[in-house]
Amino acid sequence: MLELLGYIGAIFIGLVLGITGGGGSILTVPILVYILNYNPVIATAYSLFIVGTTSGFGTIQNFKKGLVIPKTAFQFAIPSLIGVYLTRKFIVPRIPETILYFGSAQLSKETFLMILFAVMMFMASFSMLKNKKEDDIIQIGNKSLVVVVIQLFFVGILIGLIGAGGGFLIIPALLKFAKLPMKKAIGTSLLIITINSLIGFTGDIQNMEMDWIFLISFTTFSVIGIFIGLYIQQYVNEKHLKKIFGFFVLIMSFVILYKEILS
């Protein structure tokens, strides 16, 4: 029964990616951890493959519609993918199994990664829900572009730690700095997610054994979902997309924090 729920969840992962251009990993990691009982470290690795491959199919469809800006995608992807790869290859395997002790209690590596995952979602949701005026949008000069590159590198480190595709971090950057319309930001983010996720996953291949049969079957259902999501996306207003995305991320952050801390 739980396995069936997991595969139904896989369809919703693709659905969310197709509609919002991100958020797929926000579903992927909780489904793998809380429904299919995977260790969070393995779940974050599997998430990169599932979300990256699914996003790749979505990118092809959006490219045909003229909703992908490849030049912008690679500009944003290069700094972050370096951070993702280095994190999955070198940092995650070296995080100690027990990070902190609180008397008789302790903060494990797995709990730390899930809490970090939830905190980043919580912060990203506010970025998406906040109403910004045109005057608030920062123009990029040479100096600010350098700052953006550094920020994207650290975004890559965060993506690598939490196993996310990074849509909920990258879309706000595309809206703010690249000044793309919401639907083009979504289409372009899928290409960035594809690059970041699959490059990051190559770092995991060298550190752990993969269940390829599960990964391919689960990802197949997710790909079906993204085609459904891309179809639905045509009929959704851009402003509504941003709000829906923000509220979804906010709700999921509370769910994960509850599971990891309060329960």
Give yes or no for a contact between 233 and 62, defined as CB atoms under 8 angstroms apart.
no
Q: How confident is the model at residue 130 (pLDDT cuts 50, 70, 90)?
A: confident
- pLDDT in the model for residue 121: 80
| 252 or 24: which leads in pLDDT | 252
Residues 6+ apart with CB under 8 A from 194: 52, 53, 55, 56, 59
Least confident of 133-137, 143-147, 186-190, 213-217: 133-137
- pLDDT in the model for residue 138: 38
State pLDDT tens for residues 209-236: 899 999 999 999 999 998 998 888 778 7
CA distance 9 to 23: 13
State pLDDT tens for residues 50-109: 989 998 998 998 899 899 999 999 988 899 889 988 998 899 889 999 988 877 778 889
Residue 98, beta-bridge partner list: 108
Q: How confident is the model at residue 142 (pLDDT cuts 50, 70, 90)?
A: very low
CA distance 150 to 21: 23
Average pLDDT, the chain: 83
Residue 133 has pLDDT above 70, yes or no: no
Give yes or no for a contact between 159 and 169, defined as CB atoms under 8 angstroms apart.
yes
Residue 102, beta-bridge partner list: 105
